[in-house]
Amino acid sequence: MSDQSSSAAHHNGKLYIETVGCQMNMLDSELVVAALRKDGFELTDDPKLADTLLFNTCSVRENAEHKIYSSLGRLKYVKRTKPQKVIGVMGCMAQKDQDLIFKRAPHVDLVVGTGQLAEIPRLIRETRATTSRQQQKAVSLGRRDGSVAAVSSSFQSYDPLRDPEMRPTPFQAFVRIMIGCDKFCTYCVVPTTRGPEQSRPPSQILSEVKVLADQGVKEVCLLGQTVNSYKHTENGRLNRLSDLMYGINEIAGIERIRFVTSYPKDMTDDLLHAVRDLSKAVKYLHVPLQHGCNEQLRLMKRGYTVDDYREMMHRINDIVPGCSVSSDFIVGFCGETEEAHQLSMAAIREFRFKNSFIFKYSEREGTKAATMLPDDIPEETKKRRNNEVLAVQNEVSEEDNAEFIGRQVSVLVEGPSKAAEKKAARGEEVVAGDPLATQLMGRSECDRIVVFDGNPRLAGSTARVEIRDCTGTTLIGSIVTREVQHGSNGLLPIVS
Ligand code: SAH
Ligand code: SF4
Ligand code: F3S
């Protein structure tokens, strides 16, 4: 994030926003910033300069919440000396903790849940208008606080305005296709923090993607907690995720379509056919298994067995050969035996995930697991199991990445790699002997991270890269250029 000027009059001062959590939160922050900029706020990445500070929060694990409470703690004295500053907590923790936030951090002015984000500009205005500084709260209903319809309508999908400068890159954008979750896995707070599952109308999604394409977006990432459960009936016709993808595939300017996160039970053949047949569909699925042991899956209430997952993997491999699959795992869940833990590692070896996110179980108040099952695995054991699962995944990733050595892949170039950015920040030359080149990063069609040397102007274009080395997380290659074929060292990409 950087200081930016906007065309609006800057009558509302500087805004700082800190975002943790998943892609949903990144998108929510983008939308809130867009609305506030329209209201005359100017973005800053320095909290000391800010007149308004917003924290977009996550509750999925305890440490995500700790992080926010310690950031808030640091502001206590700032607020004492500069009481006119507005401090707001938004997102999942705001919906979950509500008044507890005011109790733990009395200097907070605003608490705004995930379903009420549209209220933020008004609430900031009202907070500033009152001299006595009334604390303001806007949250949705709890899952048991009313009828399904009433609870659902208290969570508003918030997707009005977009802010190009808040995106991962200028040519990549998140698009929310659904909100909420109804799966109620026993360990998870998301059904509480994000409310009931609701799919957005396809016409709205398609027009949003068209606007994004007009703004230069080439890759859209469709978001939903269980994105492949998407369904919406419009004009008497049922639309599934596959139907939506066919629609987006037609939109000029869009080159890649991705979607996260998929739920194993809802991985239907129509979706796999769309991934196979649509030229713009990225050949990559994030379908968390969570555990390799049936008893653990049952206690988690995931709704499938390892055999069911295996059947799904066979269909993925049959229908979309070469498709990469990644997963999430929880280690140290209630009653996890050493044998059960071994089964998660066996599953990684069998299913050969491209990568996995591995989490130590964190008991969350209000979930079924917290009420019914003891959090009985010691922290030390959780740590060890986490490292062991990670080591197996790294081994598998490195072996599978090595298969790419000598092959060419098509890469959507995102920009300088993190390492190159750090070097450049220290004033060091990144590519020896070539001041115009830097180390670039992008992703292959199967979502593998690829780094190679090239001109930063290639960002946003598609390049062919020949892979010559790898690590567990990265393919390392050289760009294949027309000039190279003709014997010079120019950097024109072959666009595919
Ligand atoms: N909707 C997605 C996941 C959202 S949360 C899905 O169902 O796959 C992202 C990940 O956090 C989950 O996949 C899970 O692995 C992890 N997670 C969720 N709750 C957790 C908890 N209480 N402790 C540890 N990890 C958790
Ligand atoms: Fe949480 Fe399960 Fe819903 Fe994913 S599917 S958000 S893990 S309840
Ligand atoms: Fe966290 Fe909320 Fe996302 S709890 S993972 S920010 S949906």
Q: What are the tens digits of pLDDT across the range 7-45?
A: 445 578 999 999 999 999 999 999 999 999 989 999 999
- Among the CATH numbers 3.30.365.10, 3.40.50.12160, 3.40.50.620, 3.10.310.10, which is that of 3-150? 3.40.50.12160
DSSP, collapsed to helix, strand or coil, labels residue 259 as strand
The DSSP call for residue 10 is -
- Report pLDDT for 426: 86
Q: What is the largest CA-CA distance in the chain?
A: 73
Distance 185 CA to ligand 3 centre (A): 14
Whether residue 254 has its Cβ less than 6 Å from ligand 3: no
Structure tokens at 237: 């016709």
Give residue 489's pLDDT band: very low, low, confident or very high (50, 70, 90): very low
Q: List b or e across 76-98, with b for residues whose CB sees 16 or more CB atoms inside 10 angstroms.
A: eebbeeeeebbbbbbbbbbbbbb
Tell whether domain 408-483 is in CATH 3.40.50.920: no
What percentage of the chain has pLDDT greater than the value 90?
Answer: 80
Average pLDDT for 186-201: 97
Neighbouring C-beta atoms of residue 134, cutoff 10 Å: 11
- Report pLDDT for 174: 95
Ligand 2 atom with the shortest distance to the CA of 263? 5
Q: Is the per-residue pLDDT at 6 higher than 50?
A: no
Q: What HEC string does 357-375 produce? A: EEEECCCCCCCHHHHHCCC
One fold for both 3-150 and 408-483?
A: no
Mean pLDDT of the chain: 92
Average pLDDT for 284-301: 98
Average pLDDT for 273-295: 98
Give residue 431's pLDDT band: very low, low, confident or very high (50, 70, 90): confident
CA 159 – CA 230 distance, rounded (Å): 17
pLDDT digits (tens, 9 = 90+) for 87-101: 999 999 999 999 999
CA 82 – CA 89 distance, rounded (Å): 18
pLDDT digits (tens, 9 = 90+) for 130-189: 766 788 889 999 998 999 888 888 888 777 677 877 888 889 999 999 999 999 999 999
Distance 62 CA to ligand 3 centre (A): 12
- Report pLDDT for 158: 72
DSSP, collapsed to helix, strand or coil, labels residue 293 as coil
Ligand 3 atom with the shortest distance to the CA of 189? 4
- Report pLDDT for 131: 66
Structure tokens at 408: 């060419």
Q: Is the per-residue pLDDT at 496 higher than 50?
A: no
For 167-282, CATH number?
3.30.750.210
What percentage of the chain has pLDDT greater than the value 70?
Answer: 94
The full set of domain ranges for the chain reads 3-150, 167-282, 285-401, 408-483
The answer to whether 32 and 120 are in contact (CB under 8 A) is yes
CA 336 – CA 318 distance, rounded (Å): 33
Q: Which of 20, 22, 185, 330 to mutate to test the pocket of ligand 3 (most atoms within 8 A of CB)?
A: 22
> What is the architecture, at CATH level 2, of domain 285-401?
2-Layer Sandwich (3.30)
Distance 354 CA to ligand 2 centre (A): 21
Distance 379 CA to ligand 2 centre (A): 23
Identify the residue whose C-alpha is closest to ligand 1 atom 5: 60
Q: Calculate Rg over the CA atoms of the chain.
A: 23
